[in-house]
Amino acid sequence: MNNSETVKNTVLIADDDNMVIVALTQMLSPEYTVYAVKNGKDTIEKAEQFLPDVILLDIVMPEMDGFAVIAALKSSEKTQNIPVIFITGLSESGDEEKGLALGAADYIAKPFSSDIVKLRVRNQIRMLNQTQLIIEKEVAEKSSKARIEFLMSMSHEMLTPMNAIIGMTQIAKMAWNPAKTADCLNEIDEASKHLLAMIHDLLNASDTDR
Protein backbone atom coordinates (compact mmCIF):
# COMPACT_ATOMS: atom_id res chain seq x y z
CA MET A 1 0.00 0.00 0.00
CA ASN A 2 1.33 3.46 -0.91
CA ASN A 3 1.76 6.04 1.81
CA SER A 4 -0.66 8.27 -0.10
CA GLU A 5 -3.43 5.69 0.28
CA THR A 6 -5.70 6.04 3.28
CA VAL A 7 -7.54 3.27 5.06
CA LYS A 8 -11.30 3.77 4.95
CA ASN A 9 -13.44 3.54 8.06
CA THR A 10 -15.77 0.54 8.04
CA VAL A 11 -19.54 0.32 8.37
CA LEU A 12 -21.54 -2.85 8.98
CA ILE A 13 -25.14 -2.80 7.75
CA ALA A 14 -27.57 -5.30 9.31
CA ASP A 15 -31.01 -5.40 7.70
CA ASP A 16 -33.19 -8.19 6.29
CA ASP A 17 -34.46 -5.95 3.47
CA ASN A 18 -32.33 -6.18 0.32
CA MET A 19 -33.53 -2.79 -0.92
CA VAL A 20 -32.42 -1.12 2.30
CA ILE A 21 -29.02 -2.81 2.13
CA VAL A 22 -28.53 -1.72 -1.49
CA ALA A 23 -29.61 1.86 -0.74
CA LEU A 24 -27.36 2.21 2.31
CA THR A 25 -24.42 0.61 0.53
CA GLN A 26 -24.75 3.03 -2.39
CA MET A 27 -24.90 5.95 0.05
CA LEU A 28 -21.90 4.96 2.12
CA SER A 29 -19.54 2.95 -0.11
CA PRO A 30 -17.89 5.99 -1.74
CA GLU A 31 -16.63 7.10 1.69
CA TYR A 32 -16.47 3.87 3.73
CA THR A 33 -15.76 0.18 3.42
CA VAL A 34 -19.21 -1.40 3.78
CA TYR A 35 -20.16 -4.90 4.92
CA ALA A 36 -23.76 -6.14 4.90
CA VAL A 37 -25.62 -8.96 6.67
CA LYS A 38 -29.28 -9.95 6.86
CA ASN A 39 -29.76 -11.46 10.32
CA GLY A 40 -28.76 -11.01 13.92
CA LYS A 41 -26.41 -13.97 14.22
CA ASP A 42 -24.35 -12.86 11.21
CA THR A 43 -24.27 -9.32 12.62
CA ILE A 44 -22.56 -10.52 15.78
CA GLU A 45 -20.15 -12.77 13.86
CA LYS A 46 -19.16 -10.05 11.37
CA ALA A 47 -18.83 -7.46 14.12
CA GLU A 48 -16.37 -9.68 15.96
CA GLN A 49 -14.54 -10.51 12.73
CA PHE A 50 -14.19 -7.03 11.18
CA LEU A 51 -14.65 -4.75 14.23
CA PRO A 52 -16.42 -2.07 12.16
CA ASP A 53 -16.28 1.58 13.19
CA VAL A 54 -20.09 1.87 13.07
CA ILE A 55 -22.98 -0.61 12.87
CA LEU A 56 -26.29 0.33 11.22
CA LEU A 57 -28.76 -2.08 12.78
CA ASP A 58 -32.39 -2.81 11.90
CA ILE A 59 -34.60 -3.69 14.85
CA VAL A 60 -37.05 -6.04 13.12
CA MET A 61 -35.11 -9.05 11.82
CA PRO A 62 -35.95 -12.78 11.75
CA GLU A 63 -34.98 -15.07 14.65
CA MET A 64 -32.93 -12.44 16.50
CA ASP A 65 -34.13 -8.84 16.57
CA GLY A 66 -31.96 -5.73 16.87
CA PHE A 67 -32.53 -5.41 20.61
CA ALA A 68 -31.11 -8.89 21.20
CA VAL A 69 -28.22 -8.15 18.85
CA ILE A 70 -27.16 -4.94 20.55
CA ALA A 71 -27.44 -6.61 23.95
CA ALA A 72 -25.04 -9.31 22.74
CA LEU A 73 -22.67 -6.76 21.22
CA LYS A 74 -22.55 -4.68 24.38
CA SER A 75 -21.95 -7.74 26.56
CA SER A 76 -18.82 -8.65 24.61
CA GLU A 77 -15.57 -6.92 25.52
CA LYS A 78 -14.50 -7.18 21.88
CA THR A 79 -17.50 -5.32 20.40
CA GLN A 80 -18.94 -3.32 23.28
CA ASN A 81 -17.40 -0.01 22.17
CA ILE A 82 -18.62 -0.14 18.56
CA PRO A 83 -21.26 2.59 18.06
CA VAL A 84 -24.62 1.17 16.96
CA ILE A 85 -27.15 3.27 15.04
CA PHE A 86 -30.63 1.79 14.87
CA ILE A 87 -32.42 2.19 11.54
CA THR A 88 -36.03 1.12 11.82
CA GLY A 89 -39.56 1.68 10.67
CA LEU A 90 -40.92 1.25 14.21
CA SER A 91 -42.55 4.44 15.41
CA GLU A 92 -43.31 3.73 19.07
CA SER A 93 -41.38 6.02 21.42
CA GLY A 94 -40.79 3.07 23.70
CA ASP A 95 -38.78 1.34 20.96
CA GLU A 96 -36.38 4.26 20.70
CA GLU A 97 -36.10 4.49 24.47
CA LYS A 98 -35.39 0.75 24.72
CA GLY A 99 -32.72 0.94 22.02
CA LEU A 100 -30.94 3.86 23.66
CA ALA A 101 -31.14 2.16 27.05
CA LEU A 102 -29.42 -0.91 25.57
CA GLY A 103 -26.53 1.26 24.39
CA ALA A 104 -27.48 2.52 20.92
CA ALA A 105 -25.50 5.61 19.96
CA ASP A 106 -28.19 7.01 17.64
CA TYR A 107 -31.58 6.27 16.10
CA ILE A 108 -32.75 6.87 12.50
CA ALA A 109 -36.36 6.33 11.47
CA LYS A 110 -37.39 4.90 8.10
CA PRO A 111 -37.87 6.24 5.51
CA PHE A 112 -34.50 7.96 5.86
CA SER A 113 -32.70 10.56 3.79
CA SER A 114 -29.23 10.02 2.40
CA ASP A 115 -27.88 13.21 3.95
CA ILE A 116 -29.14 12.30 7.43
CA VAL A 117 -27.61 8.82 7.29
CA LYS A 118 -24.26 10.17 6.10
CA LEU A 119 -24.20 12.87 8.78
CA ARG A 120 -25.13 10.46 11.59
CA VAL A 121 -22.46 7.96 10.53
CA ARG A 122 -19.87 10.71 10.08
CA ASN A 123 -20.64 12.13 13.52
CA GLN A 124 -20.18 8.75 15.19
CA ILE A 125 -16.85 8.17 13.47
CA ARG A 126 -15.70 11.68 14.37
CA MET A 127 -16.51 11.06 18.04
CA LEU A 128 -14.81 7.66 17.83
CA ASN A 129 -11.65 9.28 16.41
CA GLN A 130 -11.68 11.97 19.08
CA THR A 131 -11.97 9.32 21.78
CA GLN A 132 -9.09 7.39 20.23
CA LEU A 133 -6.92 10.52 20.19
CA ILE A 134 -7.66 11.11 23.88
CA ILE A 135 -6.75 7.51 24.71
CA GLU A 136 -3.53 7.71 22.69
CA LYS A 137 -2.60 10.97 24.42
CA GLU A 138 -3.20 9.43 27.85
CA VAL A 139 -1.11 6.37 26.94
CA ALA A 140 1.70 8.59 25.64
CA GLU A 141 1.63 10.72 28.80
CA LYS A 142 1.74 7.63 31.02
CA SER A 143 4.59 6.20 28.95
CA SER A 144 6.51 9.46 29.16
CA LYS A 145 5.97 9.67 32.91
CA ALA A 146 7.11 6.07 33.39
CA ARG A 147 10.21 6.74 31.27
CA ILE A 148 11.12 9.83 33.31
CA GLU A 149 10.62 7.96 36.58
CA PHE A 150 12.79 5.11 35.29
CA LEU A 151 15.58 7.47 34.24
CA MET A 152 15.47 9.29 37.58
CA SER A 153 15.63 5.98 39.44
CA MET A 154 18.52 4.73 37.31
CA SER A 155 20.39 8.01 37.69
CA HIS A 156 20.06 7.80 41.47
CA GLU A 157 21.21 4.18 41.53
CA MET A 158 24.18 4.93 39.27
CA LEU A 159 25.46 7.51 41.75
CA THR A 160 26.25 4.78 44.31
CA PRO A 161 28.85 2.87 42.26
CA MET A 162 30.13 6.13 40.77
CA ASN A 163 30.76 7.57 44.23
CA ALA A 164 32.45 4.31 45.24
CA ILE A 165 34.77 4.49 42.23
CA ILE A 166 35.70 8.10 42.92
CA GLY A 167 36.15 7.53 46.65
CA MET A 168 38.25 4.38 46.30
CA THR A 169 40.39 6.05 43.64
CA GLN A 170 41.18 8.92 45.99
CA ILE A 171 42.03 6.51 48.83
CA ALA A 172 44.22 4.40 46.54
CA LYS A 173 46.14 7.50 45.47
CA MET A 174 46.92 8.36 49.09
CA ALA A 175 47.59 4.81 50.31
CA TRP A 176 51.19 3.71 50.83
CA ASN A 177 50.15 0.24 51.91
CA PRO A 178 50.04 -2.14 48.90
CA ALA A 179 47.36 -4.23 50.62
CA LYS A 180 45.18 -1.16 51.10
CA THR A 181 45.70 -0.18 47.46
CA ALA A 182 44.71 -3.69 46.35
CA ASP A 183 41.48 -3.49 48.42
CA CYS A 184 40.66 -0.16 46.82
CA LEU A 185 41.26 -1.56 43.35
CA ASN A 186 38.98 -4.53 44.09
CA GLU A 187 36.23 -2.11 45.24
CA ILE A 188 36.73 -0.02 42.11
CA ASP A 189 36.54 -3.14 39.93
CA GLU A 190 33.25 -4.31 41.50
CA ALA A 191 31.70 -0.83 41.39
CA SER A 192 32.76 -0.42 37.75
CA LYS A 193 31.11 -3.72 36.74
CA HIS A 194 27.94 -2.76 38.62
CA LEU A 195 27.86 0.61 36.89
CA LEU A 196 28.48 -0.99 33.49
CA ALA A 197 25.59 -3.43 34.03
CA MET A 198 23.21 -0.55 34.81
CA ILE A 199 24.36 1.35 31.72
CA HIS A 200 23.61 -1.76 29.62
CA ASP A 201 20.12 -1.96 31.20
CA LEU A 202 19.56 1.70 30.40
CA LEU A 203 20.64 1.26 26.78
CA ASN A 204 18.44 -1.85 26.38
CA ALA A 205 15.45 0.06 27.74
CA SER A 206 16.17 2.88 25.29
CA ASP A 207 16.28 0.45 22.35
CA THR A 208 12.98 -1.12 23.43
CA ASP A 209 11.21 2.28 23.42
CA ARG A 210 12.18 2.96 19.80
Please write the tens of the pLDDT for every residue from 31-85: 999 999 999 999 999 999 999 999 999 998 888 999 999 999 999 999 999 999 9
Is 88 part of a structural domain of the chain? yes
Residues 80 and 150 in one domain: no
- 62 sits in the region (left: phi over 0; alpha: psi -120 to 50; else beta) called beta
Residues 108 and 141 in one domain: no
Distance of CA 34 to the CA centre of its chain: 22
Residues 96 and 188 in one domain: no
Rounded Cα–Cα distance for residues 182 and 175 (Å): 10
Q: What predicted TM-score, i.e. pTM, was given to this entire model?
A: 0.62
Mean per-residue pLDDT over the chain, rounded: 84
Q: Would the pLDDT of 3 be above 50?
A: no
Question: Domain tally for the chain?
Answer: 2
- Domain residues for the domain of 204 are 137-209
Q: Any idea what the CATH number is for the domain that residue 192 is in?
A: 1.10.287
Beta bridge partners of 106: 85
Please write the tens of the pLDDT for every residue from 157-199: 787 788 888 888 888 878 777 887 888 888 888 888 888 888 8
